[in-house]
Structure 1
Amino acid sequence: MGNFIFRALLLGLGLATALPAAAGIDCNAPANWAQDTICRSKALSEMQREMETLAADARARSQDPEAFDASQRQWAAERRDACNTARCLHTSYHSRRDELQLQITSGRPPLVTPGTYHRHGAPDDAEAGIALWIGLADGGRYRLRVLSSGEDVVPVEGEFTGRVGSARFTAPGCAFELAFAPDVIALSGAAGELCGEALEGSYLLGTD
């Protein structure tokens, strides 16, 4: 069941939106000369979009996403926004692009994107309220927490080690199989006194 749901989601939805990276620009209210210049320039705006795509990829491969966000904000403040010429902006983007591409090449591929995954296509309102929270733990492991206020599914927390495309989660009173892509999770085979069939189904990464 899990693999079927997983493949169907990938075909129907693709790999949904990645987590937003730091150092974006609001062109409705640019904060300084550099940001205003980027917003007015087609070439520099394209560089900014490329930067955001690369940053999202590098962040997903980072062992410490919060530290990555801090480094991206530091680049924006000290190198991009400190510029007062277009040439400086081009140089700043090119150098940061090279740094991010190196991080992407050397980083581990993301097995599962940290965040909150919301139940997709649940048959009733109670099951629609179930969610999974996933965060990074030490040693290449992931922390998982079942989020629910319903009677049939109670909060459960534990860790799992991701393999390519799948993992098995076990905690006292609960165990199940996971099939996943960075933004899609299919849960099957739930068993134990603290979890059961109500937990099974597909989950999509949310924006919160």
Structure 2
Amino acid sequence: MNNTRCVSFPFVVALLILCLPGTNVFAASFDCAKATTFQEQTICKSPELSHLDQEMAALYKAVLSTSPRPEQIKDEQRQWLAIRSQLCADAACIKTSLEYRIRELQAIYETNPAP
């Protein structure tokens, strides 16, 4: 009796695709398959930037849920994204921008009263 285990072909194909050089499987706060801007594509290609983006997104959601002024927070986030889009032409700038926004959101979150 042969104890060889049969693995499905789609599973093998998926595994090979994930292991291909240049394949990026980093999780950002958005769908990387739909990334269109330079900044989004750069975040999707970098595990460090993807992690920072996820951290920023989690803080943003926490701030929105505790803020007495959620519309103002949304406006500030849109402004930050627009400025980052205009100014950042490399990964270092995107990283600095994400770190700055994380600090801003942390400060807002710490001053908001608990719900």
- TM-score, normalised to structure 1, is 0.39
CA distance in 2, matches of 1:30, 1:72: 18
Q: Matched residue pairs, number?
A: 86
The structure 1 residue matched to 2:53, chosen from 31, 48, 52, is 48
In structure 2, the residue matched to 1:36 is 41
The letter of the residue matching 1:59 is L
In structure 2, the residue matched to 1:92 is 97
Which is helix-richer, 1 or 2? Answer: 2
Q: Quick check: 1:27 aligned with 2:2?
A: no
* SS at structure 2 position matched to 1:53: helix
Deviation at residue 73 of structure 1 after TM alignment: 1.6
CA distance in 1, matches of 2:109, 2:41: 29
CA distance in 2, matches of 1:88, 1:25: 19
- TM-score, normalised to structure 2, is 0.69
1:92-127 Cα distance to aligned partner (Å, 9 max, x none): 0111111111001111112xxxxxxxxxxxxxxxxx
Query: Structure 2 matches for 1:1-208, cutoff 5 A?
Result: 25-79=30-84, 81-82=85-86, 83-110=88-115
* SS at structure 1 position matched to 2:34: coil
CA distance in 2, matches of 1:53, 1:29: 20
CA distance in 1, matches of 2:36, 2:101: 20
Unaligned runs of 5+ in 2: 1-28
Which is strand-richer, 1 or 2? Answer: 1
1:141-167 Cα distance to aligned partner (Å, 9 max, x none): xxxxxxxxxxxxxxxxxxxxxxxxxxx
* SS at structure 1 position matched to 2:68: coil
Which contiguous aligned blocks of 4+ residues in structure 1 show a shift greater than 4 angstroms?
Answer: none
Larger radius of gyration: 1
In structure 2, the residue matched to 1:6 is none
